[in-house]
């Protein structure tokens, strides 16, 4: 979960700003949490405290109505609707918020089902659901099964049909100003950034350097990388300084719950 939040914060200042350059500073006063963090916290709160996914998302998003970068226009309408209904969306929002499910459930069937439920309240298009299921299941594979990166890539292809594009293609698309707002684009791109990196920090840097939807790509890539690499303590300390007390409360509750649920990450 903190991996997703770090990616969101680091990528936040580039989403609508100048293109990132090699060696960019990770945390600056121009960074902030965005809707990615708010929604991730909401999903964690729902599972930890027995809340309905829709109820929790509406609560947290209405509590924080003006995050950096704003909410997507259709999701904004959903938040403020008197009677919210799923939007048949395949936007990447379903995948960027799902990481807590990959940690809080251990059985394959439960991870798949809960990821579907968490997505379907707003992103009920098959591609929106698939994106959430893929990221949650990948996290579970890495933390419990200790699969290698090549094995994960094969399983992502077999079970979810995603072909991970080469990094050179992702960088080219980003340099052309394309904004990867769908699960079909962002999920395989974020996974490629994780596959090609050699550390948690490098995963975040690669995802941001791909430009486009930098906060969400780094959020998804960071959520997966946390299940494989040790997250540097200094990055955790920097990230939590951006968060308000109620989010920190859910974060603390989350790590208290999972502290005995997996072995140490790879270095």
CA–CA–CA angle 250, 51, 131 (5° rounding):
80
Q: Which alpha helices (H) appear in 13-145, and where do they start and end?
A: 35-48, 53-63, 73-80, 93-96, 99-104, 108-120, 126-140
Distance between CA atoms of 63 and 210, rounded to whole angstroms?
31
- Is 196 assigned a ligand-binding role in the annotation? no
For residue 64, give the nearest of 39, 89, 85 by alpha carbon: 39
Strands (DSSP E) contained in the chain are none
Terminal-residue alpha carbon distance, the chain: 18
How many C-beta atoms surround the C-beta of residue 163 within 10 A? Answer: 9
Distance between CA atoms of 160 and 154, rounded to whole angstroms?
10
Are 3 and 223 in contact by the 8 Å Cβ rule? The answer is: yes
- Is 215 assigned a ligand-binding role in the annotation? yes
The DSSP 8-state label assigned to residue 51 in this structure reads -
Token pair 């969101």: residue: 8
Distance between CA atoms of 228 and 146, rounded to whole angstroms?
8
What lies within 8 Å, CB to CB, of 194 at 6+ separation is 149, 203, 221, 224, 225, 228
- Is 169 assigned a ligand-binding role in the annotation? no
What residue numbers does the annotated binding site cover?
A: 34-36, 213, 215-216
What residue numbers does the annotated binding site for Mg(2+) cover?
A: 34-36, 213, 215-216
């Amino acid at each position: 979960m903190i991996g997703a939040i770090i990616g969101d914060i680091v990528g936040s200042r580039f989403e609508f700003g100048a293109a990132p350059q090699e060696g960019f500073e990770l945390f600056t006063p121009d960074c902030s949490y965005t809707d990615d963090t708010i929604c991730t916290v909401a999903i964690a709160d729902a599972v930890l405290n027995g809340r309905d996914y829709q109820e929790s998302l509406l609560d947290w998003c209405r509590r924080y109505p003006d995050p950096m970068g704003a909410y997507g226009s259709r999701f904004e309408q959903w938040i403020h609707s008197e009677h919210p209904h799923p939007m048949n969306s395949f936007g990447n929002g379903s995948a960027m918020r799902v990481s807590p499910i990959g940690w809080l459930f251990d059985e394959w069937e439960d991870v798949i089902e809960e990821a579907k439920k968490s997505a379907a309240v707003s992103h009920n298009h098959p591609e929106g659901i698939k994106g959430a299921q893929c990221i949650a299941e990948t996290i579970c594979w890495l933390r419990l099964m200790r699969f290698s990166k090549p094995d994960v890539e094969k399983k992502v292809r077999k079970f979810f049909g995603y072909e991970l594009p080469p990094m050179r293609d992702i960088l080219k698309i980003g340099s052309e100003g394309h904004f990867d707002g769908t699960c079909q684009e962002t999920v395989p791109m974020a996974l490629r950034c994780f596959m090609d990196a050699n550390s948690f920090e490098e995963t975040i840097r690669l995802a941001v350097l791909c430009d486009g939807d930098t906060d969400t790509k780094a959020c998804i890539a960071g959520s997966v990388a946390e299940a494989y690499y040790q997250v540097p303590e200094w990055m955790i300390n920097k990230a939590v300084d951006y968060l308000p007390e109620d989010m920190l409360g859910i974060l603390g509750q989350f790590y208290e719950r999972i502290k005995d649920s997996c072995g140490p990450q790879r270095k």
